[in-house]
Amino acid sequence: MTKLIIDGIEVEVPSEYTLLQACEAAGAEIPRFCFHERLSIAGNCRMCLVELKGAPKPVASCAWGVRDCRPGPNGEPPQVFTKTPTVKKAREGVMEFLLINHPLDCPICDQGGECDLQDQAMAYGIDTTRYHENKRAVPDKYIGPLVATKMNRCIHCTRCIRFATEVAGVPDLGAIGRGEDMEITSYLETAMRSELQGNVADLCPVGALVHKPQNYNMRPWELSKTESIDVMDAVGSAIRVDARGREVMRIEPRVNEAINEEWISDKTRQIVDGLRTQRLDQPYVRENGRLRAASWQEAFAVIAARVRGADPKRIGALVGDLVAVEEIYALKLLMEALGSPNLDCRQDGAALSPAQGRASYLFNATIAGIEQADAILIVGANPRTEASLVNVRIRKRWRLAPLPIGLIGEPADLTYGHDYLGAGPETLAEVIAGRHSFAEKLKSAQRPLIIVGQGALMRADGAAVLALAAQAAQAFGAVAEGWNGFCVLHTAAARVGALDLGFVPGEGGLDAAVMAQAGALDVIYNLGADEIEIAPGAFVIYQGTHGDRGAHRADVILPGAAYTEKSGTYVNTEGRVQMANRASFPPGDAREDWAILRALSEGLGSRLPFDSLPQLRRKLYAEHPHLGAIGEIAPGDGPAAIQALAAAGGTPSREPFASPILDFYLTNPIARASGVMAECSAIARERRLEAAE
Amino acid sequence: MSNRRLAAAEIQPPSFAFTADNENWAAREIEKYPPGRQASAVIPLLWRAQEQAGGWLPQKAIEAVAEKLGMPYIRVLEVATFYTMFALEPVGRYFVQLCGTVPCHSCGAVELKEVLSRRIGEQGHVTADGTFSWLEVECLGACCNAPMAQINKDYYEDLTPEILEKILDDLAAGREVKPGPQQGRRSSEPARAANTLQDPALFDGSVVGAWRNRFEEQAIKEAPTGEASTATAAAPSQPKPAKPDAGRTIESEAADTPAKKAKEGEVPVKPDDPEGSADPRKATVAPNDERPEGRSAPQSGKSYTPTPAKPEEGRPVADAKGTTPVSGTSPAEGGARRDGRDTKPVGPKTSDEAER
């Protein structure tokens, strides 16, 4: 710890702090453009100048360590001034330089209203210019479908370059030329390859990089902002949904150190146009092979007619990837009331079950816990596409100090150095048996992490692979006092919540794969499951948001609400319970999903015991208390569950693992309805083809 | 400098690969750096790639270097666009880089530019036969031989339009040309008479360390009493650390100290003697300036002008009470202030003055 006097306030800060951080600790506000807490220090904007007693000139506080400050002649703590006339004058000088070439186009700039340069010019700008030369003109660059460039506005802070290189790990951006001719660009203006590229526009302190899909569409002050949770993957990133009237305009990240820090993936950010298109806005009923619009009453009547006559054993329910805990709970109660044991939330057939204990299907080490790991074994997963922000965390850990990382499954560019061990379960068995060189590295690790992806579990021998992974966790000491390194990486936002509720086949019940087969069931209630092909035969009720695969197969369509249009609980892959909030309303006749189920239950003669969302939640929390602790991870049954899993045994096949995500940009109905995602997907596909050549 | 971009796609060669020799050379170059730091070899490799590709860097060469060093393409492009010595567009067989920075400019680079524009064309343009192209560049560090140009790897200095034309003619005709200064100089020695640094004392080593004698004299004055004698007595038992110059063979006596002059029977120059009292043979200013007429040095109203129009102006004259105080004069004795006010610092007389 180092003692400093900042503006007369004595503070004690860790000696690895920079002066800027120390000033913040003392409550002084330091303006900055290039400095960012999560990026390396560049020190090139010079806006953070402060006066350091004894230093001949103002110093750039972002690049000055507190341990480099000299004490006073009699050993007094170093003195720093952040509000003196010298400092103000120095910063005004810097601001004047920055504005030499910055265009005065704030009135047409998308960043206007949330621009660092604009804000700081209010404090340090002068109202006239002393420069009468022409401003620098820089051609705009194409750097991808998500980020528009207005390069005249660039102040060369290099945050975007540092983000792409350091955090995303896909160094596509760079600065060519030098001095006044320096220009930020990607190599020959190709599209960036990162799945996190949208973040560079967030990082840009000026309007040089702006979000292309939102360009010229809105002003920040006309948006109502709702804090919510993302459902594009099972990470549960903290987001802020910005809506204008009823329309969601954009999605921005919120800071959540435990999960996404302050980044979100491009899918999370740019599916907003998918929330508008292909929406189901009224009930539909299939008549003579064609869907026709109907009223709620008609739809309910059709359903009631089919369900009343059906054998409960031949009724089934499927739950998709984007639904919230509340409607899963309502559907479960309804199915129980109807007497059906055929429930499943695992439309991909993953061999996970709440019967084996909660720790058997959670990312037990937690996402923030990745930073404590000292060896990682990834089994049948590609974290980069399945959970981009988990991948960012692994990369962050790897950048702190490279650690052994082994990958079993499809070879992939994970953005960090790793050993590719093999393709299938036999490699995992070899590693456990110690016949593989990587086993030594895992054995010598104090806190090994074993990440099991859905690619390893959604196969016929999934249970055996899961058991094998649990054996690995035990063999390498991944489950120990204070550390549980057995991690299941989910891809569906609804999955963990549904497993928590026990939405799996009851006694004698059928699982999703069997239910989808022809002739297995008479009635299937499909709550937003779009990734499963249901064979012809059964009467399918589809409740969902988009006209996707599920709706095409449906006999009755009940329009529901997307995740931005309802208040819903989601449990992420770590088991963290989070609440998404309503930012706008469902379109047309669409309703919140729990309310649809409640209304339908009345028509089916088995009325659900709640009339409002709070009542539903009260009942839910009484039954599953851990779901009431928002933001928390309920302490699990860790070691016991892993031991039970390991004991299960089984012989896996020799088939190589395949990733569950074929196209990162098109994994769910909302993304498939999004034009922006389609464009990203096309670029990615082209690139894959090019690479294959 | 304008923005530098890669050459147009039509003129980019379809591929680039290092020759076997260059591959070996590159491998040795990369070996110089510790593992994981191969990127440090990017500049040498780019340079060699540029040489191999005929003096410029095609896109494929940049990519080849990037792949060789395991760097992203953009990182190598950054380097290639940063340094102007990497040409991104094709150049002629003889690539003339003409210095246009101030010293060369003021010595006639403008005329050279005209020659090049006339004979070769615009900057960056390659002549139809591919022989020449030229570029104006910033200082190449041969200002003593201004104006100068670099043609491929060699410097051609002391140029005049005629000489440059002849060099271009010779190059075009395939005749041998001599690099370096073109007007009889060997290197950057004075072009005409040597005007400065003529005091032989500067070169016999006598000036080196002369300042130290002051302390010796003082020691003589004070010796052999007090601390010094104690120190001498204690010296054998308490050896001092070696002096930085302890290993030097000879340190000759200082040339110009009053003590030495007195020993040699010369009249020592006293500090308060007016300038010019010193032996004129040892003066550092040549008595006759041989500069040609018509190139007068900047004139100013200040007391010092290097080429005085009138002999008594400029150089402080012995008997004149100069406006510039002679060193050693106490402020109180100095002449009127240059700004005309006659205030003098008032203070107690120093011991020096008291002696006088």
Q: What is the DSSP letter of A252?
A: E
DSSP-assigned letters across all residues of A199-229: HHHHH-SSSSEEETTTTTT--GGG-EEEEEE
In degrees and rounded to multiples of 5, residue A570 shows phi and psi of -130, 145
Q: Are residues B68 and B106 in the same domain?
A: no
Residue A108 DSSP SS3: helix
pLDDT given for residue B304 in this prediction: 43
pLDDT band at residue A376 under the 50/70/90 scheme:
very high
Q: Do A188 and B6 touch (CB under 8 A)?
A: yes
The number of folded domains in chain B is: 2
Domain final residue pick, B34, B60, B82: B82
- Looking at the complex, does the CB of residue B41 fall below 8 Å from at least one CB of chain A? no
Cα–Cα dist A315/A521, whole Å: 6
- Here the tokens at position B185 are 């100089």
Residue B3 DSSP SS3: coil
Domain assignment of residue B3, yes or no: no
**Which stretches of chain B score pLDDT less than 50?**
1, 228, 241-242, 244-251, 280, 283-287, 289-309, 311-326, 328-356
Q: Where are the beta strands (DSSP E) in chain B?
A: 94-99, 132-137, 149-151, 154-157, 180-181
What range defines the domain where residue B54 resides?
9-82
Domain final residue pick, B31, B47, B82: B82
pLDDT given for residue B172 in this prediction: 93
Contacts of A336 (CB under 8 A, 6+ apart): none
Q: Are residues B100 and B160 in the same domain?
A: yes
pLDDT band at residue A637 under the 50/70/90 scheme:
confident
DSSP-assigned letters across all residues of A262-277: T---HHHHHGGGGGTT
- Here the tokens at position A679 are 């464009």
Q: Are residues B98 and B50 in the same domain?
A: no
- Chain B (207-266) residues lying within 8 Å, Cβ to Cβ, of chain A: none
User: For residue range A573-583, what is the model confidence (pLDDT) as tens digits?
Assistant: 999 999 999 99
Give, in degrees to the nearest 5, the angle at Cα B324 between B323 and B326.
Answer: 120
Least-confidence region, from A37-41, A195-199, A609-613, B239-243: B239-243
pLDDT given for residue B258 in this prediction: 59
CATH code at position B131? 3.40.30.10
pLDDT given for residue A576 in this prediction: 95
In Å, how far is B12's CA from the nearest CA of chain A? 14
pLDDT given for residue B187 in this prediction: 87
pLDDT given for residue A585 in this prediction: 94
Length of chain B counted residue by residue: 356
In Å, how far is B67's CA from the nearest CA of chain A? 14
Q: Do B82 and A172 touch (CB under 8 A)?
A: no
Q: Tell me the percentage of chain A whose pLDDT exceeds 70.
A: 100
Nearest CA in chain B to A176: B78
- Here the tokens at position A62 are 């972002």
Mean residue pLDDT of chain A comes to: 93
Q: Are residues B102 and B76 in the same domain?
A: no
Question: Which chain B residues touch A172 with a CB distance below 8 Å?
Answer: 72, 74
Domain assignment of residue B288, yes or no: no
Question: Which chain A residues touch B1 with a CB distance below 8 Å?
Answer: 179, 181
Domain assignment of residue B105, yes or no: yes
Q: What is the DSSP letter of A164?
A: I
pLDDT given for residue A403 in this prediction: 93
- Looking at the complex, does the CB of residue B345 fall below 8 Å from at least one CB of chain A? no
Question: Which chain A residues touch B3 with a CB distance below 8 Å?
Answer: 177, 181, 183
Q: Do A176 and B59 touch (CB under 8 A)?
A: no
Label residues A375-412 b or e (16+ Cβ within 10 Å = b).
Answer: bbbbbbbbbbbbbbbbbbbbbbbbeeeebbbbbbbbeb
In Å, how far is A151's CA from the nearest CA of chain B? 14
- Looking at the complex, does the CB of residue B138 fall below 8 Å from at least one CB of chain A? no
Q: Are residues B125 and B176 in the same domain?
A: yes
User: For residue range B263-322, what is the model confidence (pLDDT) as tens digits?
Assistant: 666 665 555 555 555 554 554 444 454 444 444 444 444 444 444 445 444 444 444 444
pLDDT given for residue B255 in this prediction: 54
pLDDT given for residue A640 in this prediction: 86
pLDDT given for residue A624 in this prediction: 94
In Å, how far is A187's CA from the nearest CA of chain B? 5
CATH code at position B74? 1.10.10.1590
Q: Do B74 and A174 touch (CB under 8 A)?
A: yes
Domain assignment of residue B297, yes or no: no
pLDDT given for residue B297 in this prediction: 45
Q: Give the best residue of A162, A170, A173, A176 to mutate against chain B (max B CB count within 10 A).
A: A176
Q: Are residues B34 and B76 in the same domain?
A: yes
Q: Which residue has the higher pLDDT, B297 or A257?
A: A257
Q: Do A179 and B73 touch (CB under 8 A)?
A: no
Q: What is the DSSP letter of A261?
A: B
Q: Do A181 and B75 touch (CB under 8 A)?
A: no
User: For residue range A613-623, what is the model confidence (pLDDT) as tens digits?
Assistant: 999 999 999 99
Domain assignment of residue B37, yes or no: yes
- Looking at the complex, does the CB of residue B3 fall below 8 Å from at least one CB of chain A? yes
As a whole number, mean pLDDT of residues A384-406 equals 94
pLDDT given for residue B354 in this prediction: 44
